[in-house]
């Protein structure tokens, strides 16, 4: 087993990767276990880190964990884990207000797209937490600038769901 400690937007993630077979990994991200299948694994000439991990470096400016994750055999596993794990947000300057997940769960449905005008309380998404469907409403009236998650995606507490410009 290999443990990675990552810092992402001021949040610490502990990621444990257990190699089950050549292409199957059990990945534990903050206590949540994911089954991860490694579908590709290659060294890229000009990147010391695979693209999906880019936000970590960009957000926290933390070079050390990135370097540790680099092109070892297991490197693709945390990449795959992060794709399903609650770490979607891309930092963006001046995006206005953010509606973030009030608790960990899975986004089931999204009712808005960029450019939509929403009213306060309007349904934005349905978050499945503890097997309960929770309607997430817009905290203020405004225009959706960016939808940060996709339906089916796992989110952690505080992860951005949408960014919007307040009216």
Partner 1 sequence: MEGADTLALLMQGIHHVTPQSLVMIGVACVLFYLGIARNYEPLLLLPIAAGCLLANLPLSPLIAEDGMLRVLYQMGITNELFPLLIFIGIGALTDFGPLLENPRLVLLGAAGQFGIFLTLIAALLLGFSRPEAASIGIIGAVDGPTSIYVSGVLAPHLLGPITVAAYSYMSLVPIILPPIMKLLTTQAERRIRMPYSQRQISRRTRILFPIVVTVLVGTLVPFATPLIGMLMLGNLMKESGVVERLTQASAQEIANTVTLFLGLAIGSTMVGSEFLKASTLAILVLGIVAFAVDGIAGVLFAKLLNRLSGGKVNPLIGAAGLSAFPMAARVVQKVAHEEDFENFLLMHAMGANAAGQVASVVAGGVLLALMGAGGH
Can you give the binding site for partner 1, defined by CB under 8 A?
14, 16, 26, 28, 30-31, 33, 102-104, 121, 129-132, 134-135, 137, 139, 156-158
As measured in angstroms, the least distance from the Cβ of 48 to partner 1 is 28
As measured in angstroms, the least distance from the Cβ of 132 to partner 1 is 5
Q: Which of 49, 106 has the CB closer to partner 1?
A: 106
Q: Which of 27, 75 has the CB closer to partner 1?
A: 27
Which residues on adjacent β-strands are paired with residue 27?
Answer: 17, 34
Q: Which of 67, 103 has the CB closer to partner 1?
A: 103
Radius of gyration in angstroms for the set of CA atoms belonging to the chain, rounded to a whole number: 17
Return the structure tokens found at 49.
């880190």
Q: Which of 96, 137 has the CB closer to partner 1?
A: 137
Distance CA 132, CA 127 (A): 8
As measured in angstroms, the least distance from the Cβ of 110 to partner 1 is 17
Return the structure tokens found at 8.
């992402």
As measured in angstroms, the least distance from the Cβ of 44 to partner 1 is 32
As measured in angstroms, the least distance from the Cβ of 2 to partner 1 is 15
Distance CA 125, CA 108 (A): 7
Q: Which of 71, 139 has the CB closer to partner 1?
A: 139
* 77, burial (CB in 10 Å: exposed 0-12, middle 13-18, buried 19+): buried
Percentages helix, strand, coil for the chain (3-state, rounded to 5) are 15, 40, 40
DSSP state at residue 14: E
List CB contacts of 64: < 8 A, sequence separation 6 or more.
Answer: none
């Amino acid at each position: 087993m290999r443990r990675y400690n990552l810092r992402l937007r001021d949040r610490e993630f502990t990621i444990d990767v257990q190699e089950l077979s050549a292409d199957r990994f059990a990945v534990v991200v903050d206590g949540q276990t994911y089954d991860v299948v490694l579908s590709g694994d290659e060294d890229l000439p000009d990147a010391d880190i695979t693209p999906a991990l880019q936000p970590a470096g960009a957000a926290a400016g933390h070079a050390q964990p990135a370097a540790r994750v680099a092109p070892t055999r297991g490197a693709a596993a945390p990449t795959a884990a992060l794709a399903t794990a609650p770490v979607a947000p891309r930092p963006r300057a001046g995006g206005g207000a953010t509606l973030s997940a009030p608790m960990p769960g899975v986004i089931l449905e999204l009712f808005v797209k960029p450019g939509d005008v929403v009213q306060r309380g309007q349904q934005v998404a349905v978050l499945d937490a503890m097997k309960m469907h929770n309607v997430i409403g817009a905290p203020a009236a405004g225009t959706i600038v960016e939808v940060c998650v996709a339906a089916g995606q796992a989110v952690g507490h505080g992860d951005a769901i949408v960014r919007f410009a307040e009216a």
